[in-house]
Amino acid sequence: MKDAAPATAPETFYLKDYKPFGFEVETVELTFKLAPNSTRVLSKIRFSPKDNAADPRFFLHGEALKLISAKIDGAPVTPELIAGGLICDTPGTPFTWEAEVEIDPAANTALEGLYMSSGMYCTQCEAEGFRKITYYPDRPDVMSTFSVRIEGDETVLLSNGNPTGSGEGWAEWHDPWPKPAYLFALVAGDLVNHPDRFTTRSGKDVELNIWVRPGDEGKCAFGMEALKKSMKWDEDVYGREYDLDIFNIVAVDDFNMGAMENKGLNIFNSSCVLASPETSTDANFERIEAIIAHEYFHNWTGNRITCRDWFQLCLKEGLTVFRDAQFTADMRSEPVKRIEDVIALRARQFPEDNGPLAHPPRPEQFQEINNFYTATVYEKGAEVIGMLKRLVGDDNYDKALDLYFDRHDGQACTIEDWLRVFEDATGRDLSQFKLWYSQAGTPRVKVSEDYADGSYSLTFEQSTPPTPGQPDKAPRVIPLAVGLLATNGDELRATEVLELTEAKQSFTFDGLASKPVPSILREFSAPVILERETTNAERAFLLAHDTDPFNRWEAGNALATETRVTMVTEGAAPDGAYLDALEKLVRDDTLDPAFRALVLSPPSQSEIAQTLHDRGVTPDPQMIYDAAETFAQTLAQQLETSLPRLYAATTVDGPYQPDANGAGLRALNGRILSLLTRLDGGEQAARQYQAADNMTQQYAALAALMKAENGEKQSQAFFDQWQNDRLVMDKWFALQVACAAPDAAAKVATDLTRHALFDMKNPNRFRAVMGALAGNHAGFHHASGAGYQLLAENLIALDNLNPQTTARMCAAFQTWKRYDSARQALIRVELERILATEGLSRDTHEMVSRILQ
């Protein structure tokens, strides 16, 4: 076999090696002379050595730069160019560094640094992209004020901060707030804006703009409303005001991630900001509102207070995800948002935490930091903050946050700083809690119970399986929200937070006339896996009676999982009692439609595979698929007589509004339509497709028809209608693959990669096809190995162009050890093939090596 290691082993960076930079950067002045293939960047930077800086030589990061000239205090110098940057002698006293470099934005397909997208210039500098723009100490603990001059023919020239002047072919900007280079941004293009204004609570008038390509003006209104709501919410809830005269958002088509919080100039993947009823689903609207909020909230949690180094990434991301979830809960429904978040956590973070890519929310080493923008850093990082808030209480949380903003404004901070404000504000010792930041893996909490003489006790045992580099885990602080119910459904004990701190611990409730039914881990108060011997009868009782909506849903989810597991392992029929419970629930008009839609949504097939694996059964993806189909068909038959009435009762009349109530009804209506389509062959869905005046209903109808293999006509019509709208076409591409039968998925995806509108360089389009393939569980894991092979081929092809997106998508293979040895062997071949690719990026090399380990 060919040696897979690259010529020079990639460097590993360690948290423990942190050293401050030896110089202060007082001011940064940049001039951009834009040209697609030969942009010139002139920098003039004022450095002063810190007292302790013994070494007068300095190192500046730089990548893919052509150095034209360099000067110190006006005199030409010849720095030593090394891999990843340059080294230069400095005077040992404050000095001015000037450099001119040339870069090639048009050739930049990695979408990192300055690049071009649909004819416009834009930037993405987080995490380490600024070094592709000019030589600079590209690390988040180096903060400075930036003044920028842009020279170009484009009608719109934007950068961070406030505008300070403009004329024919030029514009100047000044950002008064010191910031690290990763928050730098520049946009230049012939763009149009959707303008608005916001008055802050202290009376400051702020100009707001969403900038888009001509033709997209009609898709900005919703994002603008979301922005204004976010600005108001952060004032009301966190006391945080906006701090510049202007706030700009720009939509770009080619973007590796969702969006970026550059100071005063947020740049968005167009899929995360552009919305209209005709082109966006309810789910799109909710996500756009959340991402706009997320990026806006970063202005305080990320920008005003940033990270000392990239190991601390969850300091800003975990907190900002937590804040945007609070915002969404306030704007929409708190329980529904919580359920959605737990579904996402289990789908994306649990596989990471329980596989070869497991890492703590604060990792201690990396080769490529872009590989650590993960569900663990973001979503588990947010869960950790939720636990902290629950442990200290709401008032103490507010006190600690005020102290955080007071104490650390303008600083680059660590997790230690973050925890210290909580300790100082509350007097509580958080040293054990801190393990959540350093230990990887999802804790298992085993529950047993005991009842005698009016006294009921719950015993919890916690343990966390080994993860890479962490064979042994210490017990953590786990907040367990628990309530007790009587067998008639009355609440005997309201929710109380039990603090589990030991490996094994019991809690007793006295004065109970009979054995209660416990409702444990209410609101999913900790990101753990609860293990408890219980019966389907008790789960059905909780599904009907639990006073905590999350646990009500959770009981239904457990029933759904159990019935699928027994279908797969015992060839059993769908559980009749569960079907009855579902029927009762779906007809219960006193329940929130969004909640009913969630209870009707089956657990993912990938999750069933994980559950089987956890119970020592090797999952067969085809059998899991068949069980899901049988279950849905049986449910449809059971509901047969009520489906038409339910469909009619959940149809929203009147003009489309993307609000939570309408969205909830449409979600339920969509679930009912998919069941109905199993019985009527698609008659109702075809009518809905015809009549739909919004994307939510058009898409739901098309999906139902395609799933029933009866949607060819509508699929063609959809294509004809939307072929010039990229975001809608992404949906079309993804749906073909998502709806394909297991034995057809790879073929459908292969054909789509040859479609005239497939574009490898556009991450949204690439993800639409390859992400949908990875998400089609039985299709991706088809025994032929065709799915594995196709993904690997495309990853190899993309790696040359865009390492970041390639590396992220490698995660589709992270669960490979769940499956049988034949599938493992097929996957291993593909992983080794990727690893052996000549010139493989550091990003992909790191991901594949970790998955293979």
Q: At its nearest, how many Å lie between ligand ARG and the CB of residue 806?
A: 13
- Interface of this chain with ligand ARG, residues 760 to 819, rule: CB under 6 A: 804
Instruction: Give the residue, chosen from 28, 70, 120, 127, that forms a contact with ligand ARG under the rule CB under 6 A.
Output: 127
Of the candidates 316, 274, 309, 326, the one whose C-alpha atom is nearest the C-alpha of residue 295 is 316
Quick one: what does residue 370 bind among ligand ARG, Zn ion, none, with the CB cut-off 5 to 8 Å set by partner type?
Answer: ligand ARG
Q: Is 234 in the site for ligand ARG (CB under 6 A)?
A: no
Which region among 151-159, 161-169, 253-261, 825-833 touches ligand ARG (by CB under 6 A)? 253-261
State the Rg of the chain over Cα.
28
Q: At its nearest, how many Å lie between ligand ARG and the CB of residue 367?
A: 14
Quick one: what does residue 373 bind among ligand ARG, Zn ion, none, with the CB cut-off 5 to 8 Å set by partner type?
Answer: ligand ARG
Nearer to ligand ARG, 768 or 807 (CB): 807
Q: Is the Cβ–Cβ distance between 34 and 48 less than 8 Å?
A: no
Nearer to ligand ARG, 332 or 808 (CB): 808
For residue 461, the cross-strand partners are 446, 504
HEC secondary structure over 592-644: CHHHHHHHHCCCCHHHHHHHHHHCCCCCCHHHHHHHHHHHHHHHHHHCCCCHH
Nearer to ligand ARG, 287 or 428 (CB): 287
Q: At its nearest, how many Å lie between ligand ARG and the CB of residue 256?
A: 5
- Quick check: helix, strand or coil at residue 289? helix
Q: Is the Cβ–Cβ distance between 258 and 272 less than 8 Å?
A: yes
Q: Is 317 in the site for ligand ARG (CB under 6 A)?
A: yes
Of the candidates 568, 680, 576, the one whose C-alpha atom is nearest the C-alpha of residue 628 is 568
Amino acid (one-letter) located at 798? L
Q: Is the Cβ–Cβ distance between 193 and 210 less than 8 Å?
A: yes
Q: At its nearest, how many Å lie between ligand ARG and the CB of residue 447?
A: 35
Q: At its nearest, how many Å lie between ligand ARG and the CB of residue 316?
A: 7
The DSSP letter of residue 379 is: I
Which region among 123-131, 303-311, 393-401, 575-583 touches ligand ARG (by CB under 6 A)? 123-131
Q: In the chain, how long is the greatest CA-to-CA distance?
A: 89
Q: Is 261 in the site for ligand ARG (CB under 6 A)?
A: yes
**Nearby residues of 786 by Cβ (< 8 Å), 6 or more positions away:** 746, 747
Distance CA 129, CA 112 (A): 5
Residue count, binding to ligand ARG (CB under 6 A) = 14
For residue 80, the cross-strand partners are 87
- Interface of this chain with ligand ARG, residues 552 to 571, rule: CB under 6 A: none
Q: At its nearest, how many Å lie between Zn ion and the CB of residue 672?
A: 36
**Nearby residues of 431 by Cβ (< 8 Å), 6 or more positions away:** none
Nearer to Zn ion, 262 or 320 (CB): 320
Instruction: Give the residue, chosen from 156, 259, 305, 594, that forms a contact with ligand ARG under the rule CB under 6 A.
Output: 259
Nearer to Zn ion, 30 or 127 (CB): 127
Q: At its nearest, how many Å lie between Zn ion and the CB of residue 421?
A: 20
* Percent helix / strand / coil, the chain, rounded to 5: 45, 20, 35
Amino acid (one-letter) located at 23? F
Nearer to ligand ARG, 39 or 370 (CB): 370
Nearer to Zn ion, 127 or 224 (CB): 127
Q: At what angle are helices 695-707 and 712-722 packed, to 10 degrees?
A: 140
**Nearby residues of 4 by Cβ (< 8 Å), 6 or more positions away:** 832, 835, 836
Q: Is the Cβ–Cβ distance between 604 and 648 less than 8 Å?
A: no
Active site residues: 295
Instruction: Give the residue, chosen from 260, 385, 500, 673, that forms a contact with ligand ARG under the rule CB under 6 A.
Output: 260
Nearer to ligand ARG, 183 or 485 (CB): 183
Quick one: what does residue 187 bind among Zn ion, ligand ARG, none, with the CB cut-off 5 to 8 Å set by partner type?
Answer: none
Nearer to ligand ARG, 260 or 528 (CB): 260
Q: Is the Cβ–Cβ distance between 194 and 212 less than 8 Å?
A: yes
Distance CA 553, CA 533 (A): 18
Q: Is 115 in the site for ligand ARG (CB under 6 A)?
A: no
Distance CA 63, CA 603 (A): 45
Q: At its nearest, how many Å lie between ligand ARG and the CB of residue 382?
A: 12
Which long-range contacts (C-beta less than 8 Å, at least 24 apart) are formed by 445-450? 445/478, 445/480, 445/500, 445/521, 445/526, 445/528, 445/529, 445/530, 445/531, 446/531, 446/532, 447/518, 447/520, 447/530, 447/531, 447/532, 448/532, 448/533, 449/518
Backbone dihedral angles phi then psi of residue 98, each to the nearest 5 degrees: -130, 135
Q: Is 469 left (phi over 0), alpha (psi -120 to 50) or beta?
A: left
Q: At its nearest, how many Å lie between ligand ARG and the CB of residue 186?
A: 16
Contact flags string 291-320 toward Zn ion, x per CB under 5 A: --------------------------x--x
Neighbours of 101 (CB within 10 A): 21
Q: Is 340 in the site for ligand ARG (CB under 6 A)?
A: no
Nearer to ligand ARG, 210 or 484 (CB): 210
Q: Is 154 in the site for ligand ARG (CB under 6 A)?
A: no
Instruction: Give the residue, chosen from 117, 333, 370, 374, that forms a contact with ligand ARG under the rule CB under 6 A.
Output: 370
Of the candidates 180, 202, 264, 237, the one whose C-alpha atom is nearest the C-alpha of residue 402 is 237
Nearer to ligand ARG, 56 or 258 (CB): 258
Please give the torsion angle defined by the CA atoms of residues 231, 144, 130 and 182, in that order, rounded to the nearest 10 degrees.
Answer: -30
Residue the block writes with tokens 């601390």: 312
Q: At its nearest, how many Å lie between Zn ion and the CB of residue 117?
A: 20
Quick one: what does residue 349 bind among ligand ARG, Zn ion, none, with the CB cut-off 5 to 8 Å set by partner type?
Answer: none
Q: Is the Cβ–Cβ distance between 555 and 539 less than 8 Å?
A: yes
Instruction: Give the residue, chosen from 126, 172, 286, 575, that forms a contact with ligand ARG under the rule CB under 6 A.
Output: 126
Q: At its nearest, how many Å lie between ligand ARG and the CB of residue 311?
A: 14
Q: Is 844 in the site for ligand ARG (CB under 6 A)?
A: no
What does the DSSP assignment read for 770-799?
Answer: HHHHHHSHHHHT-TT-HHHHHHHHHHHHHH
Q: Is 842 in the site for ligand ARG (CB under 6 A)?
A: no
Q: Is 295 in the site for ligand ARG (CB under 6 A)?
A: yes
For residue 458, the cross-strand partners are 449, 507
Which region among 9-17, 252-260, 644-652, 673-681 touches ligand ARG (by CB under 6 A)? 252-260
Distance CA 664, CA 668 (A): 6
Residue the block writes with tokens 């995490």: 127
Pairing of β 85-89 and β 57-61: antiparallel
Which region among 256-264, 391-399, 425-433, 824-832 touches ligand ARG (by CB under 6 A)? 256-264
Amino acid (one-letter) located at 396? N
Q: At its nearest, how many Å lie between Zn ion and the CB of residue 41?
A: 26
Instruction: Give the residue, chosen from 177, 233, 373, 656, that forms a contact with ligand ARG under the rule CB under 6 A.
Output: 373
Q: Is 257 in the site for ligand ARG (CB under 6 A)?
A: yes
Which region among 258-266, 420-428, 571-579, 602-610 touches ligand ARG (by CB under 6 A)? 258-266
Which region among 172-180, 257-265, 669-677, 771-779 touches ligand ARG (by CB under 6 A)? 257-265
Q: Is 256 in the site for ligand ARG (CB under 6 A)?
A: yes
Nearer to ligand ARG, 123 or 677 (CB): 123
Binding site for ligand ARG (CB under 6 A): 124, 126-127, 256-257, 259-261, 294-295, 317, 370, 373, 804
Binding site for Zn ion (CB under 5 A): 317, 320
